[in-house]
A and B are shown apart, each in its own frame.
Chain A
Amino acid sequence: MAGSPPSAAPVLPDGLVAVVKRDCPTCVLVAPVLDELAARGAALTVYTQDDLAFPLTAVPVADDTNLAVSWHHGIETVPTLIRVKDGSEVERTVGWSRSHWEALAHVEGLGAGLPEMRPGCGSLSLDPDLADVLAVRFSGSVLRGRRIELAALEDEMEATFDRGWTDGLPVVPPTEARVLRMLAGTSRDPADIVAVVPPDLTAVTVEQVAINAVLAGCRPEYLPVVLAAVEAACTEEFNIHGLLATTYFSGPIVVVNGPIAQRIGMNSTNNVLGQGNRANLTIGRALQLVVANLGGGRPGRLGRPGIDMALMGAPGKIGCAFAEREADSPFEPLAVERGLAPGVDAVTLFAGHGPTAIVDQLSRSPESVTRSIAAALRAHGHPKLALGFDAMLVVGPEHGRLLREAGWDKVRFRAELDELLMMDVDDIVQGVDGIDEGMPASMAGRRVPKFRPGGLQIVHAGGDAGLFSAILGGWVGGAKGSTPVTHPVTDIPSTVPSPPGGPA
């Protein structure tokens, strides 16, 4: 549905046009110069941004207190002096500079008694308190989404719950100003199609993803990561439809690699899978809100089944994203292992949940800690099942240090793990140990790996202290379920706003 049409850019009158504000000392300083220009016969129009009583005597003051002229004509500094011919701008100068003003106005001897030059002030149209309102007022055509008016007596937060837009937690109401600000986080066109989102197979636009990123509480600089995550989730290999519909616990987990993680303030250290970091929590949440609100994949509630048939689900399904701790990792980053160049910003989507703790506080050698980790991994899903369920192993820094100091890289660690994760089917066949569950008798006598090839992802994350690692349990792996997908994060504008106070 079309948004409101953009307001047309006001045409500037021919001759000289000045834009000023009373609040700017340089503008007040040049007021006599403007009078002088008018007195010397120039066709001059002076727009004021704030005060219609701007002190001029020889020329009337034109009203730009709604800032339409300033916004449409890109005024960044006041005073700005523009020469206009046949309705088009020919040249402009900003601030006060005698030589520039004289050259532009084709006169000499301007502003006797004034200094040679004086810098101007910021245009009111760039005031941070006004910029969003003006963008909404003057660029209405950018947003195509359906506008919904919340009634004056309606509580905004309650309204979003009433309309079914939330995941059970409050969301940020997606006003036009907030959505426009969010869209500044990507250089992609708001109308671009990002992905076709199951289960309704909705082709969703950058704008629609941005609206849900607002709901989730994202900052604009997170948006490229959210867009990459949506793209990766909605691939045939990742199979978000099946992940959504399964009775199993898992949901999409987003692992972020590359310099963007630190730049947008993602957490890769203490409490990396926990609460407290806005980027980690809202990026994963935005993806899940896209699936729910745009894909139609809502969970059931209060006994009514939805598309999400999870028996119990997992807390991380509200959204789960984290950054890999790359700086002192014994391993190459996950995205590099999966084929991208070092230093490329990337997301890797994994169908999982968790974490499950691996405790080993006594190992002081890489061999010993690897055996501990393997023993825990062998129990993943069920100690008597192999080849079915994927996993992501999160190696904690204190465990990782044992590997790094012994010179074990990821290839070596994987080789050791692979051997330790081989299981004799005879030990785990159905019925053994008095447990009906297990591997089928038809596989008796064989030796099989716990995980399918490619079914175990390994990353490094967590704080400095604590001799633990963790397993993020995965869903059915491979073509029968979900295959992890890595996508680069792209279309980051050169002027992405920084988080307040810098990276966390």
Chain B
Amino acid sequence: MVRIDFNRLRFLVIDDNAHMRRILRTLLHGYGTREVYEAEDGAAGLEAFTHYVPDIVLVDWMMPIFDGLELTQMIRQQGANANPYVPIIMLTGHSEKKRVMMARDAGVTEFLAKPISAKALYERIFNVVANPRPFIKTKTYFGPDRRRNVNPNYVGPERRKGGKADVIRQQPLLEKAKVLS
């Protein structure tokens, strides 16, 4: 049976509510984690992320300065920080469909609606550690693969079939120049 060695994971908890930070720290220590860092707003969170380079980020949605959604988008900017692929678990009191989709589209890895439980948080952490998803980069999105399941009823083009055969090849500039000359 697979288990998670929490002792080898470094967490960053970003939440403006001190009570919630204390609860999360308690749960993480309970699982067996030793390294838990905290920040109380989005700006401090980004700074802590850069400084501590955590393995997993737990972030609240509603925070001062910039919120969890904006923070996620900043972390997911390729080239802007050390690890744009870091798993981000969003913990929030929001549970509406629109909010969940917004979080997903910002690049959140897992979403956990409050109230949190030891079991639910463990399951999210287990998922990001044991079953990491590939990342997708498009013109408008960079983040974990938003397809979690294979839908047998899906109707439409399969854009990931055929591998390199689907690549739109650009004619090299040198060849274009040769044609023109």
Same complex: no
User: Which A positions have Cβ atoms within 8 angstroms of B?
Assistant: none
